[in-house]
Amino acid sequence: MRKRSAVSYQLSARGGRAVGAVDQVGMDDSGIHAAAARPRPTGRRGPGRAGAPGAPGPAERQAGGVAPPRQAPRQWRQLGGAPSASGRTLPGIEARTPSDQRERPGQKVASHSIVRGICGHKLGFGLAALALSGGLVLAGCGGAQAAKLDATGGASAPKAALVTIPLQQMSHVQVVAAQTATWPRQLRFTGSVDYDQFLTTPVLSLVSGPVERILVVPGEHVTKGQPLLQVTSNDFAQGRDTYLKAYAAAQLAEKVQRRDEDLYEHHAIPQTQLQQDETAYSQAQADLNAAEAALHLLGFAHPSPASIGSASPQLPLRAPISGEVVERDVAPGQLIQANSTQCFVISDMSTVWVLANVYQSDLQYVHIGDPVTITSDAYPGNFRGRIQYLSPALDATTRTLQARIATANRRGDLKKAMFVTATVTAGTLRNIVVVPNAAVLRDTENVPFVYVQTDGQNHFAHRTVAIGPSENGFTQITSGLHPGEHVVANGGIFVQFATTFQQ
């Protein structure tokens, strides 16, 4: 490995004792590869003066095979520290560069700026090498005035340090000015889809008996009067017998009345007899009408002795309305009770309800009849609706008010219990501060922030902001930023990466 440059640093601890040093850094065209570390003595200080205990003299070093001390560096560049009057080195990071190091054609000279982020931590030289090879310079890395020692002798980085991006790397960063805009006031509420209860009905059987066969499945569209299932019922046998008896009695009473009318005209019977015959015929006709009505309930619209006599005891359960079968609650062979057991639920899905949760602070902007735009993650388009009803009381748990929104759903895309967002437009927001969506970043605690340009060039500061809604690629900044301030629109991740060295 060919050595292109040499960088050494000395981390001085409290009391002026040297802790460690790095002698050589090997570098080729791919970057820094290795560093040879040489520990410095941490025991009693060698005086470097004649007669002082604790260190061998020149003769003893030569006799004992001890290597002579290293020559003093040709050139020192000190970052964050300076020799004191007593000769001790103040805490900081020192870097030296041989004076004969020059940039030659084809040779990449490492930057000698030490990243401020390593000033406060006892990190290995690998992080320093990464910062040197990357060329990122963070402002505030100077030294003792910008970092204070803690109880253990370390240094803590300031909270609002500026980030400096080298000018040659500013092509990765796009800076724009915060603007003012006028937007419609759009209130967004979460909600869920439900059936339109005015267009939804449960299907009950009018007869009792076991389910013989199911003819439809959930999701199928049915029309009014379409058979849904078949029930084997004893009610039909009783109704059939009652009808046939009533029909025969009515026919007989009619014949008797006609005969007695002829006899009465020939003075063969008294008038009282004719009146009795008329009463009997009227009673028989009423019984027949009642039997026919019972058969109507069983699904026979126009009963006759011929149709009733040949009918099967398996009666169909018919759809009361047109719509979609959204529930099936019975199974084949299940015994159902007349007017009690719910067999199906049918709903007209051309219109659905959206039940939205309105915040208490937004009640002043929401009214019955307001148009609403419904959006769902499942579909790219929007759905239109209107507020039909506002609950008279807030929910005790969520402290929100439920708004019922009738929404057109002609293709049936909206399904029950689907989560949606309801947007209500109420008035106008004027002179609000907006920035591009990409300018707003979030930290590890999900707090939004932006990078603000502080000097018009390559210095940026982290600033926490409060955000509002987004519209057409821009986000509203409700606090933390003023119009005209310049923020990083694209390249915020690049700046955020540079900030990690400082932290």
Per the DSSP assignment, residues forming a β-bridge with 222 are 323
pLDDT top residue among 335 and 28: 335
Which pLDDT value is given to residue 492? 83
Is 125 in the same domain as 182? no
Is 61 in the same domain as 141? yes
Is 151 in the same domain as 178? no
Tell me the per-residue pLDDT of 233-281, one tens digit each, with 9 for 90 and over: 887 878 888 888 899 999 898 888 888 888 888 888 888 888 888 899 8
Is 47 in the same domain as 181? no
Which pLDDT value is given to residue 406? 97
Asked which of 274, 301, 334 is the last residue of a domain, the reply is 334
Tell me the per-residue pLDDT of 271-312, one tens digit each, with 9 for 90 and over: 888 888 889 989 999 999 998 888 887 777 778 887 777 677
Which pLDDT value is given to residue 497? 79
Is the pLDDT reported for residue 154 higher than 50?
no
1-5, 257-261, 377-381, 484-488: lowest mean pLDDT where? Answer: 1-5
Is the pLDDT reported for residue 349 higher than 70?
yes
Is 240 in the same domain as 179? no
Is 148 in the same domain as 70? yes
Q: For residue 244, what is the domain's CATH number?
A: 1.10.287.470
Is 124 in the same domain as 246? no
Asked which of 334, 369, 391 is the last residue of a domain, the reply is 334
164 in any annotated domain: no
Is 444 in the same domain as 308? no
| Stretch 181-203: mean pLDDT | 94
Is 118 in the same domain as 44? yes
Q: Which domain holds residue 302?
A: 216-334
Is 142 in the same domain as 242? no
Which pLDDT value is given to residue 421? 95
Cβ atoms of residues 287 and 250 within 8 Å: yes
Classify 298 as helix, strand or coil.
Answer: coil
What DSSP assignment string belongs to 309-360?
A: HH--SEEEEEPSSSEEEEEE---TT-EE-TTT-EEEEEE-TTEEEEEEEEEG
| Stretch 5-13: mean pLDDT | 37
pLDDT top residue among 484 and 168: 484
Percent of the chain with pLDDT over 70: 67
Is the pLDDT reported for residue 6 higher than 50?
no
383 in any annotated domain: no
**Using CA atoms, how far apart are residues 454 and 464, in angstroms rounded to an integer?**
15
**Banded model confidence at residue 108, pLDDT cuts 50, 70, 90:** very low
| Stretch 145-164: mean pLDDT | 45
121 in any annotated domain: yes
Please tell me what DSSP assigns to residue 239. Answer: H
Tell me the per-residue pLDDT of 39-54, one tens digit each, with 9 for 90 and over: 444 444 444 444 444 4
Asked which of 334, 353, 376 is the last residue of a domain, the reply is 334
Is 226 in the same domain as 126? no
Q: How many domains does the chain have?
A: 3
374 in any annotated domain: no
309 in any annotated domain: yes
Tell me the per-residue pLDDT of 115-148, one tens digit each, with 9 for 90 and over: 333 333 433 333 333 343 344 443 343 333 333 3
SS3 content of the chain, % helix, strand, coil (to 5): 20, 35, 40
pTM of the model: 0.53
Cβ atoms of residues 373 and 420 within 8 Å: no
Is the pLDDT reported for residue 36 higher than 90?
no
Cβ atoms of residues 382 and 364 within 8 Å: no
Which pLDDT value is given to residue 184? 87
Which pLDDT value is given to residue 503? 55
pLDDT top residue among 108 and 342: 342
Is 228 in the same domain as 311? yes
The residues near 308 (Cβ < 8 Å, ≥ 6 apart) are: 240, 243, 244, 295, 300
Which pLDDT value is given to residue 445? 92
Highest mean pLDDT among 133-142, 148-157, 183-192: 183-192
**Using CA atoms, how far apart are residues 127 and 145, in angstroms rounded to an integer?**
23
- Exposed/middle/buried for residue 435 (C-beta within 10 Å: 0-12, 13-18, 19+): buried
How many Cβ atoms from other residues are within 10 Å of residue 440's Cβ?
19
243 in any annotated domain: yes
Which pLDDT value is given to residue 95? 37
Cβ atoms of residues 196 and 345 within 8 Å: no
Q: For residue 446, what is the domain's CATH number?
A: 2.40.420.20
**Banded model confidence at residue 161, pLDDT cuts 50, 70, 90:** low
